[in-house]
């Protein structure tokens, strides 16, 4: 059986000279979850390469679809 878990362990907000709201996140996750992230990330990158779009454009398109629905 696959056991997945993902939890935010720590958030460090970048306040010194970073006024863009950036932060560093540390996650605790199972090995199965890590492997899934890697697998799906590679799949996304390959799909974007085939479609000749950037990953950022893919996420923007996804967010636009979410707003419409």
pLDDT digits (tens, 9 = 90+) for 17-58: 667 778 999 999 999 999 999 999 999 999 999 999 999 999
Global pTM value: 0.68
- Predicted confidence at residue 61, as pLDDT, reads 94
Q: Which residues contact 20 (CB under 8 A, 6 or more apart)?
A: none
- Predicted confidence at residue 35, as pLDDT, reads 96
Q: Which residues contact 58 (CB under 8 A, 6 or more apart)?
A: 44, 47, 48, 51
Three-state secondary-structure class, residue 18: coil
Q: Which residue has better confidence, 45 or 1?
A: 45
């Amino acid at each position: 059986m696959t056991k997945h878990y993902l939890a935010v362990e720590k958030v460090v907000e970048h306040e010194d000279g970073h006024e863009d709201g950036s932060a560093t996140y540390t996650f605790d996750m199972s090995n199965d979850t890590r492997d899934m992230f890697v697998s799906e990330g590679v799949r996304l990158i390959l799909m974007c390469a085939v479609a000749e779009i950037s990953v950022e454009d893919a996420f923007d398109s996804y967010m636009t679809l979410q707003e419409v629905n």
